[in-house]
Amino acid sequence: MSKSYRVAILGATGAVGTELLELLASRNFPIADLKLLASERSAGKTLNFKGENLVIESVSDRSFENVDIVLASAGGGTSKTWASVAVEKGAVVIDNSSAFRMNPDVPLIVPEVNPEAAATHKGIIANPNCTTILMTLAVWPLHQVKPVKRIIAATYQSASGAGAKAMEEVKIQTAAILQGQQPVAEVLPYPLAFNLFPHNSPLTDVGYCEEELKMVNETRKIFGDQDIRITATCVRVPVLRAHSEAINLEFETPFNPDEARAILSNAPGVKLVEDWQRNYFPMPIDASGKDEVLVGRIRQDISHACGLELWLCGDQIRKGAALNAVQIAELLVEKNLLK
C-alpha cells in the first residue's frame, strides 16, 4: 500500500482554496486526512471533498499538529504568521503568497522548470506568481536550447487574479453599465467592466508595480539566471478567469520559429494552439479550466534579427496558482522530500 499524507489547506474558502480542494480530489492526491483552515469568519462552514462535507476550522497554533503538507493560500500576512508555526510542528508549507518567494532559503518552483530546487527546501516552498508561472512554462523550453537574453512582456490579466470578490464585482459593474447605471468599484480601485488599467499592485520607486517586478525577479530565480533582462507591463482587463501575455524574446542568435514551435509542441505543461488559416490563437475562454498554458502565434520578430514573439493564455487560478501548488506537493511525495 502506498503512503498517504495529512494535508491542510490554509485559506480554503478563497478562489484558489476551492480550486486546491477540487484538484486534490480530481488528481487523487494520496490523502490520509484533510484539514480545511480559514479565518474565524468562515469557521463552521462546510466544503465538499469527494462526497464528504468537511467542516472548516478557524486557524490556530494547534491546527498544524499532525500535518504533513500545508497548502497556504490566504495572503502574505497569514502566511507570515503561520508558516513558521507549521514548519515547527513538522509540516512542509507550500505557500501561494509572495511572502517568501524571494527568500534565498526558500525554493521557488515551477515543477516543469526547476523541480530539482525542491530538494533544498527547509520547510517552506514558494509557489510563484501566476503571470510568472505561465511565462516560464513557455520560455523555459526555448531557454534550454538557446539562452534567452531579454524578455519584454505585456500582460492581459483577468479579474480572478484579485480574487473571487473581484470577479463578482466585474459582473455587477457590467450589469450596471448595461442598464445605463454607473459602475461602482470597491474591491478594485477603478471600474474594470468595459475598461482596463495598469495593474493595481503597489508601485515601487523604479516605476514598476510589484506585480511587474515579480515577473522580473521570480523568473530569474526560477531559471537560476540573474543575467536575463526582463521588463513587463502588467494590465488588468475585464476578463473573468484566465491571463494572457504578449511575449517578446531576444536571443544571442536567431531562433527559428518552426524550431520553437517544435520545441513547444513537446513541452510539459504547454499546449501549442495556433491555426494560422483560421486566425485562431489562445484565448482566455479556451484556457479557463485547463491545466496547460496555451501558447501560439510564434513568429520571428520583424524588428530584431534575434527576436522571437509568442502569445499565451493560461488559467490563473489553476496552473497560475492551485495546480502548480498541488504539483509541488506531488513532487515532494515522488522525491520523498517530506519530513
Given the residues 130, 143, 234, 313, the one annotated as active site: 130
Do 215 and 132 form a contact (C-beta atoms < 8 A)? yes
Site for a second copy contains 164 (CB under 8 A): no
- Is 243 noted as a catalytic residue in this protein? yes
In angstroms, how far is the first alpha carbon of the chain from the final one? 19
Active-site residue flag, 306: no
How many beta carbons lie within 10 A of that of residue 275, not counting itself? 9
Q: How far is the CB of 283 from a second copy (least distance, A)?
A: 5
| Contact letters for a second copy, residues 131-150 (x by CB under 8 A) | -------------------x
Task: Give residues 274-303 in contact with a second copy (rule: CB under 8 A).
Answer: 276, 279-281, 283-285, 297-303
CB of 330 to a second copy, least distance (A): 31
Ramachandran bin of 66, using left for φ above 0, alpha for ψ from -120 to 50, beta for the remaining angles:
left
237 binds a second copy (CB under 8 A): yes
Q: Are 322 and 328 in contact (CB under 8 A)?
A: no
| Residue 72 identity | A
Residue 32, all three cell numbers: 490520509
Element (H, E) at 7: strand 5-10
Angle CA 175–178–179, to nearest 5: 90
Distance of closest approach, residue 294 Cβ to a second copy, in angstroms: 12
Say which of 121, 199, 243, 313 is annotated catalytic: 243
Local structure of residue 209 (DSSP, 8 states): B
Provide the minimum distance between the beta carbon of 156 and a second copy in the complex, in angstroms, as a whole number: 6
Q: Is 233 in the site for a second copy (CB under 8 A)?
A: yes
165 binds a second copy (CB under 8 A): no
Does 269 contact a second copy by CB under 8 A? no
Residues with catalytic roles: 130, 243
